[in-house]
Amino acid sequence: MIATVKGLKMLVMINLLMNKENDLYLVMLDFNGTLTKGSDPLNKNTISFLLEMVKDPRIIIAIVSSYPYGEIRGRLCQANKDLDPRKYGNFYICDENGGRILNQERGVSNILEEYPHLLEEAFELCNKIDSKLEEKYGSRPYQWEFKQFTVGLVITYRPLLGKEELKDEVKGIVDECTDDRWEVVLYGSGTIDIFRKEPAGKPWALDKLLQFHPEVRKVIVIGDGYNDLLLLEHAAKKGFTIGCPANAINEVKVLVGKYGGILATEKYGDGVVEILTKLLY
Ligand SMILES: [Mg+2]
């Protein structure tokens, strides 16, 4: 059943009046693949629910995404002008895959302030991989980009046209060049993502938000993809609640199941609403 926000206000009021739930919640949500499918706009149900949450004094909400702040804010404001994170002190955007935290009241925090070597190490790794590729193929059949990831937490290697069949070989070379600090993921398209594991952006964002808000008693983390695995595991190991929408990749579903989290029956934003309705209202 798709949860709706009808009557939620009433439930919140009843809970508050009965003094059942005064704990402060931190809710961390991935954006792409979790709140919405790809570049699709947020659906009405998701928009209404997010609006309820940002106006709820019991909740601190953080959107944790690989997208840059401008794009996340733009898509939220496009969905509803009242979903503007600039309007709320309890609304955080953690972009750069969690490596940067922006909030209207607290300003900007960046993982590079604590780990200034991250970017340099990412470039060193790219140089190493490029040298190996040139050694083997005489040129680079793959090109890398940080895209928006200016803090060096994720490097994406994409095959040049017609070179997709080299994906397994190239993955092998990337594996040889990387150590325990990195997680290498090969997608069906031939794209390879190299995630920084130690320190990783999204788990860092969770710890940072808890430092900002030591009064938080309950944390809920929902994600769908490879770049959510480290955050979901980090949260679960701290005893927090994790969940995923029905469209999540299998690895996420297995992790959520392993830690007794909530697997929604609905996909994307409807799945998020389903999980949060159970936990918050
Ligand atoms: Mg995602």
111-161 per-position pLDDT tens digit: 999 999 998 999 999 999 999 999 999 999 999 987 655 677 889 999 999
Whole-number Å distance, alpha carbon 36 to ligand 1 midpoint, is 9
Q: Measured in angstroms, how far is the CA atom of residue 136 from the centroid of ligand 1?
A: 34
* Domain 118-196: assigned CATH number: 3.30.1240
Domain ranges of the chain: 8-114+200-280, 118-196
Contact of 34 with 224, CB cutoff 8 Å: yes
User: 3-state class of 6 per DSSP?
Assistant: coil
How far does residue 66's CA lie from ligand 1's centre (Å)?
A: 8
CA of 223 to the centre of ligand 1 (A): 6
Distance 88 CA to ligand 1 centre (A): 24
Q: What is the pLDDT of residue 10?
A: 57
Q: How far, in Å, is the centroid of ligand 1 from the Cα of 155?
A: 16
Q: Is residue 252 within a helix (H) or strand (E), and if so which, with residue range? A: helix 250-258
Q: What is the pLDDT of residue 130?
A: 96
Q: What is the pLDDT of residue 128?
A: 97
CATH classification (class only), 8-114+200-280 = alpha beta
Distance CA 73, CA 91 (A): 11
Between strands 100-103 and 107-110, the pairing is antiparallel
- Ligand 1 centre to CA of 227 (Å) is 7
> What are the CB-based long-range contacts (under 8 Å, 24+) for 176-179?
176/132, 177/125, 177/128, 177/129, 177/132, 178/125
In this prediction, the residues of the chain whose per-residue pLDDT falls under 70 are 1-21, 147-150
Are the beta carbons of 181 and 196 closer than 8 angstroms?
Answer: yes
Calculate how far, in angstroms, residue 183's C-alpha sits from the geometric centre of ligand 1.
16
User: What pLDDT is stored for residue 5 in this prediction?
Assistant: 52
pLDDT at 178: 97
Q: Label residue 219 exposed, middle or buried (CB < 10 Å: 0-12, 13-18, 19+).
A: buried
Partnered with residue 63 across adjacent β-strands are 29, 93
239 alpha carbon – ligand 1 mean position (Å): 22
